[in-house]
Structure 1
Amino acid sequence: MDPLTMAAGSALVGAMATDAWKQVRDGVVALWRRVHPERAEEIGRDLEVLRGQVLQAREAEDADTEQALEGMWRVQLQKLLQQDPHAADEVRRLLDDRLTPTLAPSERDRVYSVIQHQTVRGGSGIQVGRDYHQGNASPPKA
């Protein structure tokens, strides 16, 4: 599974248990509205159900259910990107701008601990966190 969808699915489920869940829901529905407008309302209803399930799982300290919910939304996001690969930039923005900022630092670390892989041919590449620099020049000095 694509690391972006893995991270976004995990962040989505984590963010649904925060006070910012309405903004999270609105961001995800807006993504679907742009990519698959015919499914946007259904996704909105699904997210309402998801929030209830996440809150119940957290109250019961049921990590297995929470992981299963992450898996379900990872699959949803993966299908979205398979149908429209150009939506990856929008999913990345959703992850970075709406989902991850709502999470506690420990959850952010977990979301971004996906395996990163880099292949560079004909130059050099430096990858730090979410940033990627490619070319023959040295990376910018901090």
Structure 2
Amino acid sequence: MLTEGLLELAAMGGGAIVAAAATDAWQSTKGGVAQLFSRGGDREEQRISVQLDRIPHHLEQASEAEQDQIRTALADRWRVKLTELLEENPELEDELRALVEQVRASAPEVQQSFTQNNHSHDQSRQYVVQHGTIVINDDPDARQGS
């Protein structure tokens, strides 16, 4: 039975594999993953390599609406494979951890942008804050200074 830390590592590995498929780091990630599975021999390494080759194809063929669902399914599939690998070869923990860190380091920085639209009509009120805290005192006596 794997520790919680190793199960988490397998999950991070599955996510990293799928995330790398759409980046310049794909070939090195694919090679690193295949090498992890090479403990099962050349045939196992080749089998894993073929499965890895399918990941970009699955993602390219998916519509934009299906992308997240397919990424999640693929990451889960590789989480299971990595969990089984670590169960059979716990000594591979450091290699898998290094591979995950390598993928994370080579991943493009995610930049988020947010848009907030607020519409108010008639006598309505809006209390809008994007950062920090807003304090509202609707006590009519407090507004009149009484």
Give the TM-score of the pair, scaled to structure 2: 0.64
Identity of aligned residues (%): 29
State whether structure 2 residue 128 is matched by structure 1 residue 103.
no
Could you tell me how far apart the structure 1 residues matched to 2:19 and 2:60 are? 10
Q: C-alpha deviations, 1:49-87, integer Å up to 9, x for none? A: 112112334x52421111011100000100100111111
Give matches, 1:8-47, under 5 Å: 8-33=13-38, 35-37=39-41, 38-47=43-52
For residue 58 of structure 2, the aligned residue among 42, 53, 69 is 53
Distance 1:28 1:68 in 2: 18
Deviating 4+ runs (over 3 angstroms): none
Q: Normalising to structure 1: TM-score of the pair?
A: 0.66
Note the C-alpha offset of 1:104.
2.5
| Residue 70 (structure 1) aligned with residue 72 (structure 2) | no
Whole-angstrom CA distance in 1 between matches of 2:57 and 2:107: 18
Unpaired runs of at least 5, structure 2 = 112-146
Larger fraction in strand: 1
Q: How does 1:90-129 map to 2 (within 5 A)?
A: 90-97=95-102, 99-106=103-110
RMSD: 1.9
Give the secondary-structure state (helix, strand or coil) at the position aligned to 1:106.
coil
- Name the larger-Rg structure: 2
Structure 1: which 5+ runs fail to align? 108-142
